[in-house]
Amino acid sequence: MTELLVKNACVIDPLRGINAEVMDIAIRDGKIVEEVSDAAEVIDARGMLTMPGGVDSHTHICGTKVNFGRYMSPEDMRAGRTPRRGPLHATSGYSVPTTYGNSYRYSVMGYTTLLEGAMAPLEARHTHEEFTYTPLQDTMANTLFDGNWGIMEAIHDGDIKRVAAIIAWTLSAVKGFGIKLTNPGGTEAWQWGKNVSCIRDPVPYFEVTPAEIIRSVVEANELLHLPHSVHLHCNNLGTPGNYSCTLGTFGLIPDLNEKRQTLYATHVQFHAYGGSGWKDFCSKSEPIARYVDMRPQIVMDMGQVMFGRTTTMTADGPMEFNLYRLHHEKWSNHDVELETGSGIIPVIYRRKNLVNSIMWAIGLELALLTKSPWQCLLTTDNPNGAPFVKYPEIIGLLMSKKYRDAEFATIHPDTEARVPLPAIERELDWYEIAVMTRAGQARALGIQDLGKGHLAPGADADVAIYPLKIDEVDPSAEYQKVIDGFSRTEYTIKRGRVVARRGDCLVHGTNATFWVKPKVPENYDMGKDPDFIEKFDRYYTVRMSNYPVQEEYLARNRCIETEADL
Amino acid sequence: MIVKDAVCPFCGCLCDDIEVEVEEGRVVAVTNACELGTTKFMGEKRMKNPILRDGDRWKDITYDEAVRYAADVLLEAERPLLYGWSGTHGEAQCVGVHMAELIRGVIDNTSSVCHGPSILAIQEVGHPGCTLGVVKNRADLVIYWGSNPIDAHPRHLSRYTRYAEGFFLENAFRDRKVIVIDVRKTETANIADEFVQIRPGGDYAVLSALRAIVQGKADTIPRTVAGVTREQLVRVANLCMNAKFGAVYFGLGLTMTQGKYKNIRNAIELVSELSRHTKFTISAMRGHYNVYGSNEVNTWMTGYPFGIDFSRGIAFYNPGETTAVDILARKECDAALIVGSDPAAHFPRKCLEHLADIPVVQLDPYPNATTAFCNVQIPVAVTGIDAEGTAYRMDGVPIRTRKVLSTDYLSDEEVLARMYARMQEVLEQ
């Protein structure tokens, strides 16, 4: 039995409605408990800001395309390297760090749970291998279903239950957590070098529209009672005027779940653009935020862009090709049979570039204009908008109008006429930041009942203690203190153990992976469905028996079983 | 007993539909595999136990003695080289990386003498590729450039291209065109619809000519380019542009000939150019069954696919300096661990002369050319035969190999883990 007592912590724990109460946190054997014995090790938090461990509900850290981003970018690997030291392995990389690099840097910032945003089922084993080497966080993987042939055929036949059954079989087979749709239909069209422009374009051959894919998969998701909602990267990412496509997409979504949203719309910054071309490109954050305000069934994340060099990577292959034609940088693409695809290019977001400046403003506007912080979570779509190490700066910007104005003065001068940002006075408070970086993310993922994102007895003892005295710091004026504080925890506690202290990781941990296994009736078991098996055998290049990811690939296995309504 | 859907641990095709019949602890029959794979599954004459060089003869030693010897030799070295890795599973490669980091060695895999230049090209211009099943189901044009799959990847044609059924092709054999581009008329050229014979060393020029034609500058092309007529070049370029889905597969005939990585860069840029007209992809014909896995493992653990030098504590990558051939040729290396490859069969003489002068430990199930240079050889289980583990197919698809036989041999991972544990123990003291 190991016990730990964090004393005098200034706790913000939004899922329990706790806002800046000084209290003790008792921990036994990796869990939060009511109390511990006198023998417990004691940490005196001395009134420092203490929150549940950070949760990133959309990041790209592990798997085929992430690793290809590293593989093709020795220049990025050179841009961030640390030697082997004590229990720590060497790390490389700035925008796409090695697995240890990701794990250590997230840990130093107080993050303990990460969701990989896009895993191709056929290549799932790779994602799980990298999870094993991400030792200081628990992980889960959104699984790509945007171009899944079996699902599109079932939708064409109007058979939602079969859609659900295919998802159930696949998630169980690949040890996936949630459903990801990336440019639904577009990734299949891209395997012919084509794309869909918005939700009403039919997918070549399959003759279903993105709208039908989204609606059907949303329904299937709820039939399966998955913890998370459908996680959507909308069609038409990155193009001027795409906000109307985004609003049209949001309009498809009924409110089907009492506990959480019905749709998680990711990196909405990239989908909130006005204008008819690059010349009149402008922000449409206001209509998007207003729309989301009125629809509790939608949660989004920012997808904030920050200036500097990064690497873009997404399953949205056609979008990356368009980006390649704009930037003329190196371009990688990787289509995955019967399922999905991906693309990668490096980019530099520049202050002197008008479009980039507008993008920067839009992300902040979404967070500041959306009334409820539970509906707009803090992300950069790491590393697409910026590497996650920029999160503290984003927190600083959201908490300080003064900081925003200072930054605004350095960006392209024409930005002012294209964005509402300068007129927004709102400054987020500590509680709202806690929502946007852990509580809201855990609720959106549906993992609060699994002990994530809060500090109630029974929860996983994942705690972040920041060297910030919130009654002594005025974030509005002293934003640099805020940035410094969120960059380096005083203590990061993972599963009841101090894993990072003042910028240094202290131990080698063991990753736990959350995955979902929906129980379906016998007649919906695709593993026994003759048509499914026949198509699998004929058109995949891997045998069906070799496709499922074995449990050997999970360091700590956290299986979530659900009962499907089929 | 028959094991179904076994995974062939021979080439980068990583065929996973093999049936292996086992009787009394021996493989007696193999179905579906090509000749190369069958030979590997049926392979015998494995070394029985670890051996230590003792003057001009070999002495049998135990695994414990061998592990201790290997760990100590590598720990004592100032510039140890850990080389090979393409013929073992990913779990063993991971231990290898940790070991290199611990002892501040250089870890390099066989790609540095194989598709290393292809990787350098990808690092300059990227890689528009896809999984093999995308090609199988869609491609109406396949180009083999400087590769001869009939000999080197025998089932590539039947599983993924020429003879494969495809979802979007009514009659795949008739509707799919195959072009072979090579300096000699290979066996594969005989089954192609179009054969383009290039003068040796002329690949770069031919690629440039094709790019010019695709860009609409056919009139700038001379009557012949590296022995290929303008008419044929225009015909090939038109075949590419009129294809619905084209796929280029290139081999060492393009990577390791004059121009090297520049050839690959040019080929990738041709494909990027073609992508503006139609769908096109390009991929390398990787050799060893898990050479790509070694690149993947190295990359997520160190940031680089091969040639990683930990002598400064950080991972440092500079192919040409931190690659095995260079380190041996410069006589820098003072001890070597060889896993899952046979450098003595492939490296330049100068490198082998140095290899003969330094302590060498090899993990390999069979005696091979490198055995002659070893001080210790440790026989291990064969991944895919008597050990399970992860391998990455040439297109990046990871597959878990099956164990079809039970033997007493330790796997590469187990032997390396013991060595690593011993090293940690010694360093802690």
pLDDT tens track for B409-424: 999 999 999 999 999 9
Do the Cβ atoms of B127 and A72 come within 8 Å? yes
**Architecture of the domain defined by B116-284:** 3-Layer(aba) Sandwich (3.40)
Provide the token pair at B341. 């490859």
Residue A75, domain member (yes or no): no
What percentage of chain B exceeds 90 in pLDDT? 98
Residues of A in contact with B303 (CB under 8 A): 70, 74, 77, 81, 91-93, 97-98, 101
Instruction: Quote the mean pLDDT of chain B.
Output: 97
Selecting from A92, A97, A334 the residue whose C-beta is nearest the C-beta of B396 gives A334
Residues of B in contact with A126 (CB under 8 A): 296, 392, 396, 398
pLDDT, tens only, A430-473: 999 999 999 999 999 999 999 999 999 999 999 999 999 999 99
Selecting from A133, A192, A337 the residue whose C-beta is nearest the C-beta of B244 gives A192
Q: Give residues 117 to 176 of B whose Cβ lies within 8 Å of A.
A: 119, 122-134, 136-138, 159-160, 165, 167-168
Relative to beta strand B177-182, strand B141-145 is parallel
Do the Cβ atoms of A336 and B130 come within 8 Å? yes
Cis peptide before A296 (omega within 30 of 0): no
Chain B residue with Cα closest to A193:
B279
Give the Cβ contact number of residue B18 at 10 Å: 24
The region, left, alpha or beta by phi > 0 then psi within -120 to 50, assigned to residue A280 is: alpha
Do the Cβ atoms of B281 and A335 come within 8 Å? yes
Give the Cβ contact number of residue B79 at 10 Å: 19
Smallest CA–CA separation between A137 and chain B, in Å?
16
Residues of A in contact with B167 (CB under 8 A): 538-539
For residue A6, list its beta bridge partners: A25, A43
pLDDT for res A292? 98
Q: How confident is the model at residue B43 (pLDDT cuts 50, 70, 90)?
A: confident
Residues of B in contact with A331 (CB under 8 A): 125-126, 128, 272
For residue B400, list its beta bridge partners: B390
Euclidean distance between CA atoms A272 and A251, whole angstroms: 15
Smallest CA–CA separation between A101 and chain B, in Å?
9
Chain B residue with Cα closest to A126:
B398
Do the Cβ atoms of B314 and A545 come within 8 Å? no
pLDDT for res B429? 87
Q: What is the CATH number of the domain that holds A41?
A: 2.30.40.10
Residues of A in contact with B138 (CB under 8 A): 191-192
Instruction: Specify the amino acid at residue B331.
Output: K
Residues of B in contact with A98 (CB under 8 A): 299-303, 315
Interface test with A, best of B7, B297, B397 (most A CBs within 10 A): B397
Q: Are A52 and A459 in contact (CB under 8 A)?
A: yes
Beta-carbon contacts of A345 under 8 Å, excluding residues fewer than 6 positions away, are A311, A312, A320, A323, A324, A327, A329, A330, A331, A332, B126
Do the Cβ atoms of A92 and B90 come within 8 Å? no
Whole-complex ipTM: 0.97
pLDDT, tens only, B122-139: 999 999 999 999 999 999
Beta-carbon contacts of B203 under 8 Å, excluding residues fewer than 6 positions away, are B145, B146, B181, B226, B253, B254, B257, B258, B259, B263
Residue A258, domain member (yes or no): no
Taking 90 as the threshold, does the pLDDT of residue B78 lie above it? Answer: yes
Q: Are B402 and B388 in contact (CB under 8 A)?
A: yes
Residues of A in contact with B122 (CB under 8 A): 71-72, 332
Residues of B in contact with A334 (CB under 8 A): 127, 129-131, 396
Q: How many alpha carbons fall within 13 Å on the CB side of residue B122?
A: 25
Residue A43, domain member (yes or no): yes
Smallest CA–CA separation between A130 and chain B, in Å?
7
Interface test with A, best of B99, B279, B299, B308 (most A CBs within 10 A): B299
Euclidean distance between CA atoms B283 and A101, whole angstroms: 29
Chain B residue with Cα closest to A337:
B134
> What does the DSSP assignment read for B360-412?
EEEE-SS--GGGGG-SEEE--PPBTTTB-EEEE-TTS-EEEEPP----SPPPH
Euclidean distance between CA atoms B132 and B134, whole angstroms: 5
Residue A553, domain member (yes or no): no
Residues of A in contact with B313 (CB under 8 A): 83-85, 90
Do the Cβ atoms of B130 and A335 come within 8 Å? yes
Torsion sign (Cα): A127, A133, A136, A138: positive
Instruction: Specify the amino acid at residue B416.
Output: L
Q: Give residues 307 to 346 of B whose Cβ lies within 8 Å of A.
A: 310, 312-315, 317
> What does the DSSP assignment read for B58-81?
EEE--HHHHHHHHHHHHHH-SSEE
Smallest CA–CA separation between A167 and chain B, in Å?
20
Taking 90 as the threshold, does the pLDDT of residue B168 lie above it? Answer: yes
Going from the C-alpha of A38 to that of each of A4, A11, A23, A35, the distances in angstroms are 10, 22, 17, 10
For range A468-496, the mean pLDDT: 98
What percentage of chain B exceeds 70 in pLDDT? 100
Q: Are A396 and A403 in contact (CB under 8 A)?
A: yes
Euclidean distance between CA atoms A200 and A36, whole angstroms: 58
Backbone angles phi, psi at A472, to 5 degrees: -105, -15
The region, left, alpha or beta by phi > 0 then psi within -120 to 50, assigned to residue A296 is: alpha
User: What total of structural domains would you count in chain A?
Assistant: 1
Backbone angles phi, psi at B46, to 5 degrees: -80, 150
Instruction: Specify the amino acid at residue B323.
Output: T
Selecting from A330, A333, A540 the residue whose C-beta is nearest the C-beta of B124 gives A330
Euclidean distance between CA atoms A486 and A489, whole angstroms: 7
Taking 80 as the threshold, does the pLDDT of residue B44 lie above it? Answer: no
Distance from CA of residue A56 to its chain's centroid? 5
Residue A403, domain member (yes or no): no
| Residue A35 burial class via C-beta count within 10 angstroms: exposed 0-12, middle 13-18, buried 19 and up | exposed
Residues of A in contact with B280 (CB under 8 A): 193
Backbone angles phi, psi at B157, to 5 degrees: -70, -40
Domain encompassing residue A45: 3-52+454-504
- Per DSSP, the three-state class of A293 is helix
Selecting from B98, B134, B165 the residue whose C-beta is nearest the C-beta of A335 gives B134
Smallest CA–CA separation between B137 and chain A, in Å?
7
Euclidean distance between CA atoms B235 and A50, whole angstroms: 69
Euclidean distance between CA atoms B142 and B145, whole angstroms: 10
Percentages of chain A per state (helix, strand, coil), in multiples of 5: 35, 25, 40
Beta-carbon contacts of B147 under 8 Å, excluding residues fewer than 6 positions away, are B153, B182, B188, B249, B250, B251, B252, B253, B254, B285
Rg (CA), chain B: 23
Q: How many alpha carbons fall within 13 Å on the CB side of residue A372?
A: 17
How many DSSP H helices and E strands does chain A contain?
18, 26
Q: Give residues 225 to 264 of B whose Cβ lies within 8 Å of A.
A: 244-245
For residue B11, list its beta bridge partners: B288
pTM of the model: 0.98
Taking 80 as the threshold, does the pLDDT of residue B82 lie above it? Answer: yes
Q: Are A523 and A529 in contact (CB under 8 A)?
A: no
Do the Cβ atoms of B133 and A70 come within 8 Å? no
Residues of A in contact with B168 (CB under 8 A): 205
pLDDT, tens only, A108-159: 999 999 999 999 999 999 999 999 999 999 999 999 999 999 999 999 999 9
pLDDT, tens only, A63-99: 999 999 999 999 999 999 999 999 999 999 999 999 9
In 3D space, the residue among A236, A235, A267 whose CA is nearest the CA of residue A386 turns out to be: A267
Residues of A in contact with B314 (CB under 8 A): 81-83, 90, 92
Report whether CATH 2.40.50.140 matches the domain B46-113+289-428: no
Work out how many CB contacts closer than 8 A connect A with B: 186
Smallest CA–CA separation between B402 and chain A, in Å?
9
For range A207-222, the mean pLDDT: 98
Going from the C-alpha of B35 to that of each of B30, B40, B161, the distances in angstroms are 10, 9, 19
Interface test with B, best of A333, A339, A340, A544 (most B CBs within 10 A): A333
Do the Cβ atoms of A193 and B278 come within 8 Å? yes
Provide the token pair at A121. 């089922």
What percentage of chain A exceeds 70 in pLDDT? 100
Euclidean distance between CA atoms A188 and A203, whole angstroms: 7
Q: Where are the domains positioned within chain B?
A: 46-113+289-428, 116-284
Q: Are A332 and B271 in contact (CB under 8 A)?
A: no
- At residue A17's C-alpha, the angle toward residues A14 and A21, to 5°, is 95
In 3D space, the residue among B329, B344, B338 whose CA is nearest the CA of residue B359 turns out to be: B338
Q: Are A462 and A112 in contact (CB under 8 A)?
A: yes
Euclidean distance between CA atoms B253 and B248, whole angstroms: 13
Selecting from B244, B280, B299 the residue whose C-beta is nearest the C-beta of A67 gives B299
Residue A19, domain member (yes or no): yes
Euclidean distance between CA atoms A2 and A327, whole angstroms: 54
Selecting from A191, A334, A338 the residue whose C-beta is nearest the C-beta of B129 gives A334
Taking 90 as the threshold, does the pLDDT of residue A328 lie above it? Answer: no
